[in-house]
Chain A
Amino acid sequence: DAKTTQPPSMDCAEGRAANLPCNHSTISGNEYVYWYRQIHSQGPQYIIHGLKNNETNEMASLIITEDRKSSTLILPHATLRDTAVYYCIVRPSKAAGNKLTFGGGTRVLVKP
């Protein structure tokens, strides 16, 4: 599975957009980019995923560069409850071998 690189931590202001970068320069053509977040001591929460196109849901937007070597998760209006560790994960699209390989993630602190 392709390795991902994320900044270890970042702060953002409540009410502002939070842009979380992820580098995955060795991604293969059949690999998805997944984002999860984990609020302290809870199970990881699925946010969004994409293959090639940008994606948006009720939680966030995912912007994937044209060469697919990096992506950005956008939380449009950060709230204090968005404080969490955010994980960017790359995994194959095929049904077999679909384990998730977590890295260190980005610890996001939303400040009032």
Chain B
Amino acid sequence: DAGVTQSPTHLIKTRGQQVTLRCSPKSGHDTVSWYQQALGQGPQFIFQYYEEEERQRGNFPDRFSGHQFPNYSSELNVNALLLGDSALYLCASSLLQEGDTQYFGPGTRLTVL
């Protein structure tokens, strides 16, 4: 049973560019959450997708957007990249129910130069 997978593993971009990160949830899960983890800090919640819609959003600007596909996989898009967007981007999947547990993928390391 495959866990949560993310691609790519690493990515280098320059300021002003746009990036798309991808996530495939754990088998049987229908909800995907995205987190940003800056160096030396805990992960920060970006947003969550369920039934192809954004259900909840953290304190991130509109440059951060996402999408969920019918097969429950998800993308995170970041436009107009800033140096401060350099971080580990984590995807977590869960089954939307009371007391659900989120399982994390290995993350995508984004470096903005």
Hey, which bits of chain A sit against chain B, CB under 8 A? 32, 34, 36, 41-46, 49, 51, 87, 93-105
Contact = CB atoms under 8 A, between A and B. Distances in A.
A43 B97 CA distance: 23
B7 to A, nearest CB: 13
B94 interface: yes
A99 B58 contact: yes
Contacts of A100: 33, 35, 43, 45, 92, 102
Majority secondary structure of chain A interface residues (helix, strand, loop or mixed): loop
Nearest to A101: B45
A36 B101 CA distance: 11
Given A87-B42, A102-B44, A95 B90 contact: no
B25 interface: no
A98 B42 contact: no
Given A95-B97, A100-B35, A102-B35, 12 more contacts: A41-B109, A42-B106, A43-B104, A43-B107, A44-B92, A45-B104, A46-B103, A46-B104, A93-B98, A102-B44, A103-B42, A104-B42
Contacts of B73: none
